[in-house]
Amino acid sequence: MSILIDRGTRLVVQGITGRDGGFHTQQMQAYGTRVVGGVTPGKGGEKAHGIPVFDSVAEAVKATRANVSVIYVPAPYAPDAIFEAADAGVALIVCITEGLAVRDTLAAYHHVAALRARNGGDAPRLVGPNCPGLISPSQSKVGILPGQITKPGPVGVVSRSGTLTYEVVHQLTQAGLGQSTCLGIGGDPIIGTNFIDTLTLFEADPQTEAVVLIGEIGGSDEEEAAQFIKRHVRKPVVAFVAGQTAPPGKRMGHAGAIISGGSGTAAEKMEAFAAAGVPVARIPSEIPGLVGELLARRRARSNRPRGTQAKPRRKTGSARAAGAGRSRAGASKRRGAPARARKSDGGRGRSR
Amino acid sequence: MNLQEYQAKELFARFGLPVLPGQVASTPEEAQDVARALGGTVVIKAQVLVGGRGKAGGVQLARTPDEALVKAREILGLTIKGLPVRKVLVAQAAEIARELYLSIVLDRSRKLPLIMLSAEGGVDIEEVARTTPEKIVRHPIPLDGLRGYQARELFQPLLRDGKLVAQAADILLKLWRTYQEGDCQLAEINPLAVTPDGRVLALDAKVILDDNADFRHREWATWRDPEDESPGSRLARDKGLSYVKLEGDIGCVVNGAGLAMATMDLIKHYGGEPANFLDIGGSSNPEKVTAALRIITSESKARAIFFNIFGGITRCDDVANGIVQSLAESPLAVPLVIRLTGTNEDVARKILSEHGLSATTSMDEGVRTVIEKAQEVMV
């Protein structure tokens, strides 16, 4: 299992005839993703990399039963592409394009949310914009993540970053810790899928046994995620927050990575995780060790006979983890909490 | 892009917001001319993109054109929080009975624009937010926009008087249009002033534009003042690099913003201080590598430079070629430590070794090495 994408993913590429769209279509095909169609208005009927090109997403969906769309079109046109994919009925829309105007992203976000509310389920769902996409190792990749650094396994990875995600995934793989799904949710101030949405999916996914959450400065998604983990996530989570040395008021590359009005600092976010009993790695290379430790403990616990399991579930026991002392208090507080996450099928494999 | 006050007021005026007449001046003589043309008492305000101008002596009243000349000369000689004052705004002065605060910003968690309103205007709103958050009214703007009655309802408890409420509500509606149609990330009036004769005015203006919307706003290009940027920042923008200068002595060049932040953190973790944030992005264009090195060596006190490249889509051999080519054109005076891993790493290593360079695969090891090298330089 995995979240959001798997072997049943049938992908349509919006912007397939562009430079980036074309290059990554080949990369995704080489990885084994089932790319069933492409869309470039005015080029319907042509072929690109052996794949049929359509004038609209609706036509592509009708002809190919595509259930996921990935967007590589230039920023001024990307919001339109999101609207189009949502209206065409794909379950998952992954917008790789960066540089969308906030006003446009807001409109697209609310359109997708309204459709989802009307459908009464988890679809359509938007991932991004300004994200590297996602990969379920050995099954499917949608976006631009390098496939060769991943391997299948029990760790779910969710991150606001691109190359930092690769760095962490690479270190996990080297440590023998494979991944269920690695998802980059994007570095913009407004994104379609946030940490809480992703944690909900990982919590419900049988393959995922532990989660690595990579946050960064700006906004309050990490703080909200920390609260959510405390109440609703029973699987172990390890957090890292980038930008501990970032100065206030300066945008650190990502449009969303800015400490404004003195809030959104890495220190606040790390504190929020620690207070919720989530071990925080101070540097990326601490992550595999923390994950390995928590996985071992979780497995040891689940091997015990029933009735002896009610132990604090998130002791870190690691002096290296910032706030390890606090995490014990957090764990005992959380014990016995009604901790069932929302059920979700991750919007997978749906087509209409 | 942060607008100077005089630019923000131009934008406000375009959307019909009540700002007092004024004009920007870059010499005392120009300021004197503007004061003469406006007549009466004027206020002279330093145009720098930092808060606390008033406290630093950057905002002064002048009753006559001659006084304006003297005051403008004084302000144009100031440096406020490290920024030299190169321009002043000379504007009609107003008498103030009350000062309010009004702004519209993006609420990232609600995913809606947010009105922030306070009876405590004219002061640092962040300070108010910290010490007495209950004095700030927060009101999200619904998806289908803001209505007149909603705007009036917000001001009613603060202003009471129907005529004042109507004026303030009109200002809020126009500020909303400015924010929305003008693609602002922040549109702020502080103070929103009530005069003794019952007028409501925008006496100051602060605007941050969403740079990603520049394709809709050709006029923005004329607002960017090259002298507001350091040469390094300008070069970075021209070449498509994300760059922030810092105070430390370890320069770093990284692909990807998150990895660049994590690299800075790691430098600090191992006892060093980063000299900059620099993301060369996904491309491995040698020109970008050259520009990155030029920016760091010209602007910072870097005693050593660290390259941290995680080759995913970026190919390590491209970056290696970029480094080699760049060093051939302009050799570095400080030690260079390279970390490369990922796509085409082996080819990259070969290219580097042919030119007497080497690279590590571990980011931690690379950071420790670059800190050591920097220390050797100090000795």
Residue of A nearest to B365 (CA): A285
Asked if the structure places residue B122 within a domain, the reply is: yes
Do B235 and B332 reside in the same domain of the chain? Answer: yes
- Output the six-digit token pair for A150: 């991943």
pLDDT > 80? residue B9 = yes
Confidence category of residue B284, pLDDT binned at 50, 70, 90: low
Residue B133, CA distances (Å) to A268, B3, B88, B112, B136 in order: 18, 27, 33, 20, 6
Confidence category of residue B288, pLDDT binned at 50, 70, 90: confident
The larger pLDDT score, comparing residue A250 to residue A231, is at: A231
Answer whether B106 sits within 8 Å of A250, measured CB to CB. Answer: no
**B39-43 contacts at long range (C-beta below 8 A, 24 or more positions apart):** B40/B92, B40/B93, B41/B92, B41/B93, B42/B68, B42/B90, B42/B91, B42/B92, B42/B93, B43/B90, B43/B91, B43/B92, B43/B93
- Report the b/e string of B195-211 with b at 16+ CB within 10 A: eeeebbbbbbbbbbbbb
Q: What is the DSSP letter of A219?
A: S
pLDDT per position as a tens digit, A81-95? 999 999 999 999 999
pLDDT score for B10: 95
Q: Which of B177, B216, B277 to mutate to test the interface with A (most CBs of A within 10 A)?
A: B277
Do B218 and B113 reside in the same domain of the chain? Answer: yes
Asked if the structure places residue B313 within a domain, the reply is: yes
Assign A327 to helix, strand or coil: helix
Residue of A nearest to B247 (CA): A247
pLDDT score for A305: 61
Residue at a domain's end among B46, B64, B92: B92
Nearest to A163 among B216, B256, B265 (CB): B256
pLDDT > 90? residue B216 = yes
Chain B residue numbers with beta carbons less than 8 Å from the beta carbon of A165 are 258
Answer whether A100 sits within 8 Å of B212, measured CB to CB. Answer: yes
pLDDT per position as a tens digit, B130-175? 788 888 999 999 988 999 999 999 999 999 999 999 999 999 999 9
Do A224 and A260 reside in the same domain of the chain? Answer: yes
Asked if the structure places residue B1 within a domain, the reply is: no
Do A97 and A23 reside in the same domain of the chain? Answer: yes
Do A223 and A293 reside in the same domain of the chain? Answer: yes
Residue at a domain's end among A99, A127, A155: A127
pLDDT score for A306: 56
Asked if the structure places residue A95 within a domain, the reply is: yes
pLDDT score for B195: 96
Answer whether A161 sits within 8 Å of B108, measured CB to CB. Answer: no
pLDDT > 80? residue A320 = no
Task: Tell me how far apart the alpha carbons of residues A107 and A187 are, in angstroms, rounded to a whole number.
Answer: 18
Do B233 and B370 reside in the same domain of the chain? Answer: yes
Residue A244, CA distances (Å) to B248, B263, B283 in order: 14, 10, 26
Exposed / middle / buried, residue B273 (Cβ in 10 Å: 0-12, 13-18, 19+): middle
Provide the pairing of β-strand B79-80 with B83-84: antiparallel
Do A170 and A100 reside in the same domain of the chain? Answer: no
Asked if the structure places residue B5 within a domain, the reply is: no
pLDDT > 80? residue A171 = yes
Answer whether B212 sits within 8 Å of A221, measured CB to CB. Answer: no
Residue at a domain's end among B92, B126, B145: B92
pLDDT score for A260: 80
Count of domains in chain B?
A: 3
- Tabulate helix, strand, coil % of chain A (nearest 5): 35, 20, 45
pLDDT per position as a tens digit, B181-207? 999 999 999 999 999 999 999 999 999
Task: Tell me how far apart the alpha carbons of residues A200 and A342 are, in angstroms, rounded to a whole number.
Answer: 6
Do A164 and A35 reside in the same domain of the chain? Answer: no
Domain holding B66: CATH number? 3.30.1490.20
The minimum CA-CA distance between B330 and chain A, rounded to whole Å, is: 26
Do A153 and A21 reside in the same domain of the chain? Answer: no
Domain holding B372: CATH number? 3.40.50.261
B327 φ, ψ to 5°?
A: -70, -35
Task: Tell me how far apart the alpha carbons of residues A179 and A308 are, in angstroms, rounded to a whole number.
Answer: 29
Do B219 and B174 reside in the same domain of the chain? Answer: yes
Q: Please give the single-letter amino acid code of residue A112.
A: V
Catalytic residues of B: 101, 188
Q: Longest C-alpha distance within chain B, in Å?
A: 80
Residue range A116-141: mean pLDDT, rounded: 95
Domain holding B189: CATH number? 3.30.470.20
Chain B residue numbers with beta carbons less than 8 Å from the beta carbon of A161 are 256-259
Asked if the structure places residue B6 within a domain, the reply is: no
Do B283 and B361 reside in the same domain of the chain? Answer: yes
pLDDT > 50? residue A327 = no
Chain B residue numbers with beta carbons less than 8 Å from the beta carbon of A25 are none
The minimum CA-CA distance between B246 and chain A, rounded to whole Å, is: 8
Do B186 and B273 reside in the same domain of the chain? Answer: no
Asked if the structure places residue B8 within a domain, the reply is: no
Chain B residue numbers with beta carbons less than 8 Å from the beta carbon of A220 are 108-109
Answer whether B212 sits within 8 Å of A162, measured CB to CB. Answer: no
Asked if the structure places residue A16 within a domain, the reply is: yes
Do B83 and B125 reside in the same domain of the chain? Answer: no
pLDDT score for B289: 87
Count of domains in chain A?
A: 2
Host domain of residue B236: 229-378
pLDDT > 80? residue B68 = yes
CB pairs under 8 A between A and B: 158
pLDDT > 60? residue A348 = no
pLDDT > 60? residue B275 = yes
Residues A24, A110, A111, A254: which is the catalytic one? A254
pLDDT score for B273: 95
- Mean pLDDT of all residues belonging to chain A: 88
Residue range A36-63: mean pLDDT, rounded: 97
Residue range B18-46: mean pLDDT, rounded: 96
Confidence category of residue A317, pLDDT binned at 50, 70, 90: very low
Q: What is the ipTM of this complex?
A: 0.91
Q: Is the peptide bond before B157 cis (omega within 30 degrees of 0)?
A: no
Domain holding A14: CATH number? 3.40.50.720
Chain A residue numbers with beta carbons less than 8 Å from the beta carbon of B274 are 245
Task: Tell me how far apart the alpha carbons of residues A108 and A116 are, in angstroms, rounded to a whole number.
Answer: 12
> Catalytic residue at A232?
no
- Range in A153-162, A246-255, B12-21, B221-230 the model is least confident about: B221-230
pLDDT > 80? residue B123 = no
Do B123 and B203 reside in the same domain of the chain? Answer: yes
Other beta carbons less than 10 A from residue A220's beta carbon:
15
Do B255 and B326 reside in the same domain of the chain? Answer: yes
Do B251 and B128 reside in the same domain of the chain? Answer: no
- Mean pLDDT of all residues belonging to chain B: 92
Sign for the pseudo-dihedral over CA of A54, A351, A123, A130: negative
Do A85 and A207 reside in the same domain of the chain? Answer: no
Residue at a domain's end among B35, B61, B92: B92
Residue range B81-86: mean pLDDT, rounded: 89
- Tabulate helix, strand, coil % of chain B (nearest 5): 45, 25, 30
Host domain of residue A272: 146-334
- Whether B235 contacts B280, CB under 8 Å: no
Asked if the structure places residue B171 within a domain, the reply is: yes
Exposed / middle / buried, residue B122 (Cβ in 10 Å: 0-12, 13-18, 19+): middle
pLDDT > 50? residue B253 = yes
pLDDT score for A14: 98
pLDDT score for B135: 87
DSSP codes joined into one string, B14-68: HTT-----EEEESSHHHHHHHHHHH-S-EEEEE--SSS-TTTTT-EEEESSHHHH
Q: Which of A165, A171, A245, A280 to mutate to test the interface with B (most CBs of B within 10 A)?
A: A245
Do A112 and A175 reside in the same domain of the chain? Answer: no
Do B237 and B374 reside in the same domain of the chain? Answer: yes
Asked if the structure places residue A1 within a domain, the reply is: no
Nearest to A146 among B242, B244, B313 (CB): B313
Do B169 and B236 reside in the same domain of the chain? Answer: no
Assign B114 to helix, strand or coil: strand
pLDDT > 80? residue A175 = yes
H or E segment at A334? helix A324-334
Asked if the structure places residue A325 within a domain, the reply is: yes
Do A123 and A150 reside in the same domain of the chain? Answer: no
Exposed / middle / buried, residue A348 (Cβ in 10 Å: 0-12, 13-18, 19+): buried
Residue A308 neighbours by CB under 8 Å, 6+ apart = none
- Range in A162-176, A212-226, B338-352 the model is least confident about: B338-352
Residues above pLDDT 70, as percent of chain B:
99
